[in-house]
Amino acid sequence: MSEASVRRYAGLFGMIASAFIVVQVPLYFLYPGAPPDWDILTRSLIGIVGCVFYILFFTGLRQLIHQVDLASDWIAGVIQAAGLLWVAMVFVPQSMEAGAAISVDHDIDTTKEGPFAAAQYLMQGLISRLLMALFLIALGIVVTRLRLLPKWVGWSAFVLAAINLAFVPAIYSNDDPSNFYAVQGWGTTASMGALWSLWLLAVSISTFRSARRVVTPTSRATVNA
């Protein structure tokens, strides 16, 4: 597959995945109390389907880096691994929330109630923040060094990585999801998820658009224009 095709497909899958997650986030805020089962099941389904497309996107990024510079294959593997592990961290809590909604005979807030609520805290909070930061730092290094995407992708990746790391100490906070900086707070989880998805949407659009240009070793810098 040509580099242009890899850019096109990776960008397309990234746009689809990000769109799913952007649509999912507001469903967490529709109800002030315990949401009905349809809301929990719908947002879980949307999130899971979106993450399936993220698998294709992260794999496409690794292939793109591999084609641009074989010497960067190791860090390309780090980017793919961090992305795929983040997907796993989404799959498990989404499954727990949907399972709780199905098994309990009354409406519950699955972010803080149910048999698996506490088990989600670190997966949706600390672990996800660290995996995102790892992905962002590695991608920022590659983009800055190889110029395979515009400059803004590189520096914004570092900024977003710093924001993710700023939420790591939230592990010492409380477990109230209405608290912005709690271990399971709406800032630590939903807000960061929305910011991450919007950023990836912009990166995916940039990746897709870059396929229109003929990228060669001598013209690689034109991608930065």
pTM value is 0.85
Least-confidence region, from 38-47, 112-121, 123-132, 145-154: 112-121
Which segments of the chain does DSSP mark as H helices, in order? Answer: 3-24, 37-68, 73-103, 117-124, 126-146, 151-166, 192-210
Mean pLDDT of the chain: 86
**pLDDT at residue 185 greater than cutoff 80:** no
Say what angle helices 126-146 and 73-103 make with each other, to 10 degrees.
150
Please name which of 85, 81, 65, 83 lies closest in space to residue 73, comparing C-alpha atoms.
Answer: 65
Q: Are 148 and 220 in contact (CB under 8 A)?
A: yes
**pLDDT at residue 222 greater than cutoff 60:** no
Tell me what pLDDT residue 98 has.
87
Q: What is the mean pLDDT of residues 203-217?
A: 78
Predicted confidence band at 116 (pLDDT cuts at 50, 70, 90)? low
Least-confidence region, from 87-101, 106-120, 138-152, 156-170: 106-120
Residues 6+ apart with CB under 8 A from 216: none
- The percentage of the chain sitting over the pLDDT mark of 90, rounded to a whole number, equals 48
Tell me what pLDDT residue 218 has.
43
Tell me what pLDDT residue 9 has.
94
CA 126/CA 188 separation, integer angstroms: 8
Tell me what pLDDT residue 49 has.
95
Token pair 């807030």 in the structure block, residue: 109
Q: What is the dihedral of CA 41, 134, 22, 3, to 10 degrees?
A: -110
Backbone angles phi, psi at 185, to 5 degrees: -70, 165
